[in-house]
Amino acid sequence: MSQHRHPGAPGRAGAVPALPDLPEATVARLPEYLRALHNLAETGHETVSSEGLASAAGVNSAKLRKDLSHLGSYGTRGVGYDVALLIDQIEYVLGLTQRRAVALVGVGNLGHALAGYDGFVSRGFRIAALFDADAARVGEEINGLVVRHIDELPRVAAEEAIAIGVIATPASAAQSVADQLVAVGVTSILNFAPCVLSVPEGVDLRKVDLAIELQILSFHEHRKASLTALPATGGSALTALPGGLAVTDPQEAIGT
Amino acid sequence: MSQHRHPGAPGRAGAVPALPDLPEATVARLPEYLRALHNLAETGHETVSSEGLASAAGVNSAKLRKDLSHLGSYGTRGVGYDVALLIDQIEYVLGLTQRRAVALVGVGNLGHALAGYDGFVSRGFRIAALFDADAARVGEEINGLVVRHIDELPRVAAEEAIAIGVIATPASAAQSVADQLVAVGVTSILNFAPCVLSVPEGVDLRKVDLAIELQILSFHEHRKASLTALPATGGSALTALPGGLAVTDPQEAIGT
DNA sequence: AGGCGCTTGTGAAGGCGTGCACAAATCGCG
DNA sequence: CGCGATTTGTGCACGCCTTCACAAGCGCCT
């Protein structure tokens, strides 16, 4: 765990670049591999094959091998990957060897839950400060942290090296908060507010919108429903969905 | 809203296909367009150009036009898109003309927040029931809904037509909950638990992992830090580290 | 009525990501 | 010591998605 050296790599010197620029898709999967690896380590596995790790992470084994090859990680042919070594390597690449400080802005419904979410802590992060603009919420203690007013952000940022800002405010406040975070030097932002933010170049921005996920599922529900509602009797009567929408049959090609 | 017909399409009857099979990437963006459109409608806009809507939704205008063309939506050349009409069309395609019932399982830290999240309600969904396996939580009232024991899921599902299941349990319980949801006929699941779920074919599964988002940001932080720490001196220091991984930022990896 | 400016819809090209299939490499065993 | 079983690493082809660039269409103004 506290081991920062990575022993045991084959003799070739300089074979592992410091920070290869990985495909974004690979980066997005590394955390999943990491979680699967931790599970494996806890259950006593010392090595794992690409097939085994892939299924534990829910991906294709060829994809996993290619991902790992991108970061220069060496498995052993005929054996597999060393679990502990791979954990170290991925954690290093993801920059998890230092426990990054996270500032959470917006302690409403969702923010409150995020402040208490132990998944952040258990996976390499440290919630360094909580902020809110609502004076009524300032002073409240959540999970051992006191909510500060957003105006104190500059002062707190000067004390703690805040690496990542999390925005859990209403949409109307999000852009302003983002600007303030950028102003104090934060270069990575995770946005939970349902709105588009604009940030200067060099600042990384990711967004999580819970309602959007549901809407995507809703689309698939809708599609499945319309398909099953049409057994095979093409064309005859248009089936009406509960909402009142007439549905033409799938072979709408007749129109074109 | 209650308008279910899509008037104004050029002479061709039935010009709006019921459910074209859209590219997945397009589906994922439609909710974003929808939100931007609602904002525009509230601010009095009756029409909007692809450029305007694209910037409001944070995407490229060509991409937006292609997305909309996929769902057969017709704008007017020289003018733009009719905001109200486009809202109807997207809501129809996404299956939001009916208010789908959502069952939320796991009323812990995160689940509690989700139960109170008004973004679900305001965007076409209805939280129909809350479940938990912990007897201590059963009976608690959240946002006007009483938490039921997970064993009651079959009975409740028989009463309410549950379209989507949301899992906000610990990872250890998630697969079991997913199985139970599938057993009562749920065909769309949104998983917040940090684990890989397996579901039968025909069941749609999406995952949101808050910690993974942070880890992705952490990677970019790490990368940015290592780049600024390396002026231009190619070579010696960064290429070779016999132990295995080269280290660009000494403070980072060497800290005990 | 006709032309002009604006905007959509789309063909084509390029890039990225995925998955297959196989050569290369390593271990264990006789 | 050599051979076979096993597994990695990767070249290659394919498909999806993005982006550019432009012709076609529409309204407005003269």
Taking phi over 0 as left and psi of -120 to 50 as alpha, with beta for the rest, A14 belongs to left
Over 80: is that where the pLDDT of B9 sits? no
Over 90: is that where the pLDDT of B145 sits? yes
Over 90: is that where the pLDDT of A179 sits? yes
The per-residue pLDDT of chain B, averaged, comes to: 86
Over 60: is that where the pLDDT of B98 sits? yes
Q: What is the DSSP letter of B165?
A: E
Q: Which of B97, B18, B164 is nearest to A226 (CA)?
A: B18
Count of alpha carbons within 13 angstroms of residue A167, beta-carbon side? 30
- B98 and A CB contact within 8 Å: yes
- B6 and A CB contact within 8 Å: no
Residues in chain B: 256
Would you state the structure tokens that stand for residue B162, as one six-digit string?
């549950």
B51-65, B135-149, B174-188, B239-253: least confident range: B239-253
Point out which residues pair with B100 in neighbouring strands. B125
By percentage, how much of chain B surpasses pLDDT 90?
79
- A164 and B CB contact within 8 Å: yes
Burial B174-213 (b: 16+ CB within 10 A, else e): bbebbebbbeeebbbbbbbbbbbbebeeebbbbbbbbbbb
Q: Band the pLDDT of A3: cuts 50, 70, 90.
A: very low
Distance CA B166, CA B207 (A): 10
Distance CA A86, CA A67 (A): 12
The shortest C-alpha distance from A255 to chain B (Å) reads: 7
The pLDDT, as a whole number, for residue B226 is 86
Q: Are A190 and A167 in contact (CB under 8 A)?
A: yes
Distance CA A255, CA A193 (A): 41
Closest nucleotide to the alpha carbon of B68, via C1': C9
Distance CA B245, CA A187 (A): 25
A212 vs B31, B110, B253: nearest CB: B31
Residue with tokens 């009857």: B13
Contacts of A250 in chain B (CB under 8 A): 18-19
Over 70: is that where the pLDDT of B99 sits? yes
Distance CA A65, CA A220 (A): 31
Q: Band the pLDDT of A155: cuts 50, 70, 90.
A: very high
In terms of C-beta density within 10 A (0-12 exposed, 13-18 middle, 19 or more buried), how is residue A151 classed?
exposed
The pLDDT, as a whole number, for residue B18 is 65
Nucleotides on chain C that have an atom closer than 7 A to a protein CB are 5-11, 16-21, 24-27
The pLDDT, as a whole number, for residue B20 is 78
- pLDDT, mean of residues B8-20: 45
Substitution target from B89, B219, B254 for chain A, most A beta carbons within 10 A: B219
Q: Band the pLDDT of B227: cuts 50, 70, 90.
A: confident
Backbone dihedral angles phi then psi of residue A29, each to the nearest 5 degrees: -90, -20
- pLDDT, mean of residues B18-47: 95
Q: What is the DSSP letter of B101?
A: E
Q: Which of B222, B242, B246, B223 is nearest to B234 (CA)?
A: B246
Q: Which of B165, B166, B107 is nearest to B132 (CA)?
A: B107
Contacts of A102 in chain B (CB under 8 A): 214
B123 vs A9, A215, A243: nearest CB: A215
Residue A123 CA and nucleotide D7 C1' are separated, in Å, by 30
Q: Mind spelling out the 3-state secondary structure of chain A?
A: CCCCCCCCCCCCCCCCCCCCCCCHHHHHHHHHHHHHHHHHHHCCCCEECHHHHHHHHCCCHHHHHHHHHHCCCCCECCCEEEHHHHHHHHHHHCCCCCCEEEEEECCCHHHHHHHCCHHHHHCCEEEEEEEECCCCCCCCEECCEEEEEHHHHHHHHHHCCEEEEEECCCHHHHHHHHHHHHHCCCCEEEECCCCCCCCCCCCEEEECCHHHHHHHHHHHHHHHHHHHCCCCCCCCCCEECCCCCEECCCCHHHCC
The shortest C-alpha distance from B45 to chain A (Å) reads: 18
Contacts of A121 in chain B (CB under 8 A): none
The per-residue pLDDT of chain A, averaged, comes to: 86
- B200 and A CB contact within 8 Å: no
The pLDDT, as a whole number, for residue A18 is 66
The pLDDT, as a whole number, for residue B15 is 36
Considering only residues 60 to 79 of chain A, which have any Cβ-Cβ distance to chain B shorter than 8 Å? none
Taking phi over 0 as left and psi of -120 to 50 as alpha, with beta for the rest, A143 belongs to left
Contacts of B164 in chain A (CB under 8 A): 214, 217-218, 221
The pLDDT, as a whole number, for residue A123 is 94
The domains of chain B, with CATH numbers, are 24-93 (1.10.10.10), 100-210 (3.40.50.720)
Question: CA torsion sign, B93 to B99 to B103 to B108?
Answer: positive
More confident residue, A159 or B8: A159
Over 50: is that where the pLDDT of A168 sits? yes
The pLDDT, as a whole number, for residue A230 is 60
The pLDDT, as a whole number, for residue B231 is 56
Q: Band the pLDDT of B230: cuts 50, 70, 90.
A: low
The pLDDT, as a whole number, for residue B252 is 39
A110-124, A152-166, B95-109, B216-230: least confident range: B216-230
Would you state the structure tokens that stand for residue B168, as one six-digit string?
């906000």
The pLDDT, as a whole number, for residue B236 is 37
- pLDDT, mean of residues B122-146: 96
The amino acid that residue B31 corresponds to is P
Over 60: is that where the pLDDT of A247 sits? no
Q: What is the dihedral of CA B236, B237, B243, B248, to 10 degrees?
A: -150
**A–B CB contacts, 8 A cutoff, strictly below:** 275
Rg (CA), chain A: 24
Q: Band the pLDDT of A231: cuts 50, 70, 90.
A: low
Q: Band the pLDDT of A7: cuts 50, 70, 90.
A: very low
Please give the residue of chain A at the shortest CA–CA distance from B1: A243
Please give the residue of chain A at the shortest CA–CA distance from B88: A245
Cβ contacts, strand C, under 7 angstroms = A 10, 23-26, 59-60, 62-63, 65-66, 76-79; B 48-51, 61-62, 65-66, 68-69, 73-81
- B97 and A CB contact within 8 Å: yes
The pLDDT, as a whole number, for residue B142 is 96
